[in-house]
Amino acid sequence: MSPTHDVIVIGLGGMGSAAAHHLAARGARVLGLEKFGPAHHHGSSHGGSRIIRQAYFEDPAYVPLLLRSYELYEELERATGREVATLCGGLMLGRPEARAVAGSVRSARQWDLPHEILDAHEIRRRFPTLNPNDDEIALYEARAGLVRPENTVVAHLQLATRNDADLHFNEPVTRWEPLPGGGVRVHTAENTYTAGQLVICPGAWAPQLLTDLGVPFGIERQVMYWFQPTGGVEPFRPERHPVYIWEDARGVQIYGFPSIDGPDLGAKVAFFRKGTACSPETIDREVHAGEIQAMAEHMSRRIPSLPGTFLKAATCMYSNTPDEHFVIARHPEHPDSVTVACGFSGHGFKFVPVVGEIVADLALSGTTEHPIELFDPNRLAAAPA
């Protein structure tokens, strides 16, 4: 009996929605399966905003993918009419030797990306809300900004549906298996499906769905905070205030955004990689008073007017690999039928559209022209948990 679909996509968050779009756009018969509703808040692809930048401190190897991702975000906006990206400029702040600064400078110079290096005096002059120490500098990138995760997911789902993808929501996958003669079978709480190819974009559910991948994923609870600045949000509008990642002398990073959703929602800030281990089943969704206080105190030394009034907070999850690089590849145990995209380690959303393109390449032809050697899961097979 022939498969009922060409490709099944498990998970329709950021990466899975993009994969479903790119696969369907190429004429594949796509079935998408999602545990929750569209653009939900249970995983990682929510919270109103994510930073997008090209001078990438994590590794210069990411830059070609970012350049393509920018192109695809523009195409997504044109194709759907949805607001997806806002390029308001961005600062990577800290001492010159800080990873956020030195790594960004390295990527910018290697790839000849437009940028400026600002000393503390110039930072304060151009961005009066910010209060860096005298020994801190910043890389400023005019092409940095933010993308809206919920809008991005909805836009990709819209295009996938436009190209006849069959998308099932509130239908959790219970297990999947390769078939002896080729192809895959996927079991959900409601039905069983077969396809020639399987794409797995599981987010924080990677440990459950990819037990044979050999990657020791760590799932981490993170908190996003919104504060009303003292004096109002006008100085924090995107025309006047950039996105930023700010690293202190201890290596602790915070990141934040301009005010993008009106005066009542203030500005969003968060710690980067200062979360606690969890699972999707055990994550504490309550944000506690001590956490809010710690965030406010940390911000008050850097942006004195920002932690004026706490407005709200929300949790999300990072799916971390030991080296914090992604996993995008054919499954080593099932290279003929299964493609995986996971372990995005808190810095993946800016890559959503290009990951969708890569996954479609791998699922339909087994290879891609994009540089993804860094994301081979075999690098982590022997890594300690």
Where residue 1 falls among pLDDT bands split at 50, 70, 90?
Answer: very low
| 218-228/276-277 β-pairing | antiparallel
Among all chains, which residue has been given the structure tokens 């498990």? Answer: 10
Stronger pLDDT, 4 or 94, i.e. the higher one? 94
32 is in an annotated binding site: yes
Closest to 368 measured CA to CA, from 122, 117, 64, 162: 64
308 is in an annotated binding site: no
34 is in an annotated binding site: yes
13 is in an annotated binding site: yes
Mean pLDDT within 290-312: 95
Report the distance separating Cα 246 and Cα 244, nearest Å: 6
19 is in an annotated binding site: yes
123 is in an annotated binding site: no
Where residue 382 falls among pLDDT bands split at 50, 70, 90?
Answer: low
160 is in an annotated binding site: no
Q: How many residues in the chain?
A: 385
- Residues of the chain above pLDDT 70, percent: 98
22 is in an annotated binding site: yes
20 is in an annotated binding site: yes
6 is in an annotated binding site: yes
195 is in an annotated binding site: no
| pLDDT at residue 385 is higher than 60 | no
| pLDDT at residue 190 is higher than 80 | yes
343 is in an annotated binding site: no
Digit-coded pLDDT (tens) for 15-42? 999 999 999 999 999 999 999 999 999 9
| Structure tokens belonging to residue 343 | 């372990």
9 is in an annotated binding site: yes
pTM (two decimals): 0.96
Digit-coded pLDDT (tens) for 94-147? 999 999 999 999 999 999 999 999 999 999 999 999 999 999 999 999 999 999
317 is in an annotated binding site: no
CA-based end-to-end distance of the chain: 41
Digit-coded pLDDT (tens) for 44-89? 999 999 999 999 999 999 999 999 999 999 999 999 999 999 999 9
Superfamily grouping for domain 87-146+218-320:
D-Amino Acid Oxidase, subunit A, domain 2 (3.30.9.10)
302 is in an annotated binding site: no
| Structure tokens belonging to residue 63 | 């830059």
8 is in an annotated binding site: yes
- The pLDDT, as a whole number, for residue 252 is 95
275 is in an annotated binding site: no
28 is in an annotated binding site: yes
User: What fold, for 5-45+150-217+323-380?
Assistant: FAD/NAD(P)-binding domain (3.50.50)
224 is in an annotated binding site: no
Mean pLDDT within 226-242: 95
- Mean pLDDT for the chain? 95
130 is in an annotated binding site: no
102 is in an annotated binding site: no
117 is in an annotated binding site: no
Where residue 181 falls among pLDDT bands split at 50, 70, 90?
Answer: confident
81 is in an annotated binding site: no
29 is in an annotated binding site: yes
| 145-147/85-86 β-pairing | antiparallel
16 is in an annotated binding site: yes
- Structural domain boundaries in the chain: 5-45+150-217+323-380, 87-146+218-320
182 is in an annotated binding site: no
